[in-house]
Amino acid sequence: MVAALGAQTGTTITVPDPGVAARHSSGVRVVLQLRAALAQALSGADAEAVFYDSRTVRIVARRPPPPPPFRVAPALAPEPSPEIIVTASKQALTRDTYPGSVTLTQLSPGWTTSHAGEGTAAIIRLLPTLASTNLGPGRNKLFIRGIADSSFNGPTQSTVGQYLGDVRLTYNAPDPDLNLYDMKRVEVLVGPQGTLYGAGSLGGVIRLVPNSPDLSAFSTTMSAGVSATQAGGIGRDGAGTLNIPLLDGRLGVRFVVFGTRQAGYIDDPSRAPANINNTLSYGERFSLRAALADWTIDLGFVAQNITDQDGQYVVRGDPPLTRAEAIAQPFHNDYRLGYITVRHPVGAGELVSTTSVARHDLTTVFDATAQDGNSAPARFEEANDITLISHETRLSGGGGRAPWVGGVTALFSSSMLSRTLGPLAEQQRIAGVVNIQAEAALFGQMSRPLGRTLTGTIGGRITFANSTGILINEKAALGEHSSRDTLRFSSTLALDWHPGGPLSAFFHYQQGYRAGGLAVAPSGSGIASQRFTTDALNMNELGLRLGDEARDHLSLRAALFYADWNDIQADLVDSAGLPYTSNVGRGRLFGLDGQFTWQLSPGLTLRMAAFLNDSRLVRPAAAFATSGEQSLPNIAHGGARISLDWRREISDRANLSGSFSVRYVGKSRLGVGPYLDIPQGGYAVTAAGVRVDFAQVGVALDLNNLANIRANSFAFGNPFTVGERDQMTPLKPRTIRLGLNARF
């Protein structure tokens, strides 16, 4: 029956389960749209249709109906969903057919209400292969699987591409650290991902998937929490969503508003304030969806402001959780994003077109006292004004057996970095730099069966780019100017092997790169410039899968990889404490990572994830050579996380759930070269939580850093005194949070 429907409508319909294929169908005897026809055909077969796109359908056994409203499915920790499509792959690939390492993390409403205010830091605690610097919310760099260049922020692109749905969030900026409230899923594609995502995805891609407007049902949710940090202050967080269908089934809007105050825990007795490193963040997300015939249009807007009131580092030798500085060192991150996405079926495929405009304003202040040998209080301020315009139009199709995608992209990024330095009453503007990047690219990727058990994937991207850099002072050019046109090709090759049964494997080769640019030279005077060139990374990966976390009691995923990284770009600081950017040499990485899940009982699940990493700067540039071997910065040689999640029904109207986790972060070093060869890491952190869900209300109690560990998570705090080698950034002390959420 379904075969006939597929033939009549030009749709690829698969029934992978022989048991489901053998079930009797009542058939369809009237003219109906495809979805309605499938629903009628399967109504008596205890099966349902899963639409991957408008022309690709999979028939599976019907899932059990959801529990009644008073039986809320508890989920303190994220849980996977069956038959999840890796939408970040831009093809109709499921998790078990994607030929590469991928992590799909479902964010349950219970988990997000407890952790959304922590932003990216909450995701990092779940995934050992995902790492970050620890300067503070809104100012960190993210790394995946050991692809780390440096600890400092500058004009280089991030090694990780970040997306909200199909919308690019950044190009050459730190993590915007979006609040996770009302997010549905996080997808992490391990990189490089140069074929589908272009420049700036050396380490991989992180894709946040928000909940879309519901076009048929009104709903609202609210959450609030209060937290207390040992030796620190009181934190607060709150958020709410409102979903309004304006035209039933055709038009709807969704609003999300949120605000968070993360309590400080560092004191400065010299200035008398306590808990100086409070962080305030607030913002909103708005989305509108219109379903008009076969067209789906999504309009959206994001606004978020983050203020770190001071740095979160201390000095060894001072009393615990204290430091003395002449002035405060605040940081501001103001982010705005507007976008439109249009979807439309085209034959057996789907057309997706996304255009976005982002504005990102960053302001950083450091205490520069004694930088010039004078003891009078001095201040360094850096402002980075970034505009990003991005567009992509792509067409995909081919169904589950032979998916393909092709498209065009265009991008414009402008970053103006301005800086001042000097005594508080006599601030002098020093050299800054403007970097402008314009790109246009064509890309394509396709998969084809190479036999009964083997599928091959091949893809490529050709990019034309212009990079322009201008040295400036007092908003005027200083005569230093650099412009370069490049034509670059990135490719990928993969094999996916499914011999039958629970075992499968893959091989993946991928290329990636970051564009070059202009930076202030490390002269100490801040009046000269130097160019940093494009860096490129090639990675080979061999992976193994055993079982499926959604269906099997035991499942395992592991991958062995090797990466060759040429002309590594790094943001650094010179001996005077001023930031600069340079190519530091050639690196290579070997690694092994894996995930293991064991469902001990229907209500008890054990999860383990770990990685081993051996990274080396094998051919350093002359300025960074040392007598011994150097590892790449910020990434530990090993890390692991183990968690135990449980749930049980305590009555017909209440469920109880909980979790306990231990996360280990191995030792690493701050940066490249002897000046920044400063150790960090080497600690284990525990966390626990318990949650009770009633009909429409949930209550949660969460504890982080149970043992109150004070290890050095990241050694950089102030570039002007980092050479004294006595800075450390302690972990946030033991923190307890009580939260409440409701939905209507």
- If you ran DSSP here, which 8-state letter would residue 722 be given? G
Contacts of 20-28 spanning 24+ positions with Cβ under 8 A: 20/45, 20/47, 20/59, 20/60, 20/61, 21/59, 23/47, 25/1, 27/1, 28/1
Tens digit of each residue's pLDDT (9 = 90 or more) over 685-699: 999 999 999 989 999
Phi then psi for 117, rounded to 5 degrees? -65, -15
Q: What angle do CA 182, 172, 614 make, to 5 degrees?
A: 90
pLDDT at 74: 41
Q: Is-above-0.75 flag for pTM?
A: yes
The strand ranges marked E within 191-330 are: 204-210, 219-229, 234-247, 251-262, 279-292, 295-308, 314-315
| Residue 283 CB contacts under 8 Å (≥ 6 apart), including other chains | 179, 257, 258, 259, 302, 303, 304, 305, 335
* Structure-model confidence comparison of residues 39 and 301, the more confident one: 301
Question: Do 550 and 80 meet the contact criterion of CB atoms below 8 Å apart?
Answer: yes
Q: Please write down the HEC assignment for all residues of 635-700.
A: CCCEEEEEEEEEEEEEECCEEEEEEEEEEEEEEEECCCCHHHCCEEEEEEEEEEEEEEECCCEEEE
Question: Which whole number is the average pLDDT over 644-670?
Answer: 92
Q: Are strands 654-669 and 638-651 parallel, antiparallel or unpaired?
A: antiparallel
Question: Do 85 and 96 meet the contact criterion of CB atoms below 8 Å apart?
Answer: no
Phi then psi for 83, rounded to 5 degrees? 55, 40
- Span of 30-34, 72-76, 254-258, 324-328 with lowest mean pLDDT: 72-76
Distances (CA, A) of 523 to 39, 372, 378, 578, 581: 70, 14, 20, 9, 12
Task: Please spell the DSSP secondary structure of 373-395, one letter per residue.
Answer: S--S-EEEEEEEEEEEEEEEEEE
| 194/560 Cα distance (integer angstroms) | 20
Sketch out the chain's domains with CATH numbers.
1-65 (3.55.50.30), 204-743 (2.40.170.20)
Tens digit of each residue's pLDDT (9 = 90 or more) over 716-727: 889 888 888 889
Q: CB 4: neighbour CB atoms within 10 A?
A: 12
Spatial CA neighbour of 97 closest among 494, 493, 597, 458: 494
| 676/273 Cα distance (integer angstroms) | 30
pLDDT at 36: 63
Q: What angle do CA 37, 42, 43 make, to 5 degrees?
A: 100
Distances (CA, A) of 21 to 17, 27, 42, 483: 6, 14, 11, 61
pLDDT at 195: 95
Q: CB 111: neighbour CB atoms within 10 A?
A: 24
Question: Do 541 and 100 meet the contact criterion of CB atoms below 8 Å apart?
Answer: yes
Spatial CA neighbour of 292 closest among 395, 211, 215, 209: 215
Q: What angle do CA 200, 206, 211 make, to 5 degrees?
A: 135
| 605/645 Cα distance (integer angstroms) | 5
Question: Which whole number is the average pLDDT over 204-227?
Answer: 95
Spatial CA neighbour of 400 closest among 302, 496, 536: 496
Tens digit of each residue's pLDDT (9 = 90 or more) over 238-283: 999 999 999 999 999 999 999 999 999 999 998 878 999 999 999 9
Tens digit of each residue's pLDDT (9 = 90 or more) over 545-580: 999 887 789 999 999 999 999 999 988 888 777 888
The 3-state DSSP class for residue 258 equals strand
Amino acid at the residue 386: I
Amino acid at the residue 609: A
Check whether 380 has a pLDDT greater than 90: yes
| 743/741 Cα distance (integer angstroms) | 7
- 10 Å CB burial of residue 319 (0-12, 13-18, 19+) is exposed
Question: Do 237 and 224 meet the contact criterion of CB atoms below 8 Å apart?
Answer: yes
pLDDT at 12: 57
| 455/498 Cα distance (integer angstroms) | 8
Tokens encoding 251? 């038009």
* Structure-model confidence comparison of residues 17 and 48, the more confident one: 48
The pLDDT-based confidence of 71 (bands split at 50, 70, 90) is very low
Tens digit of each residue's pLDDT (9 = 90 or more) over 476-514: 555 567 789 999 999 999 999 999 889 999 999 999 999
Q: What's the sign of the alpha-carbon dihedral 714, 718, 719, 722?
A: negative
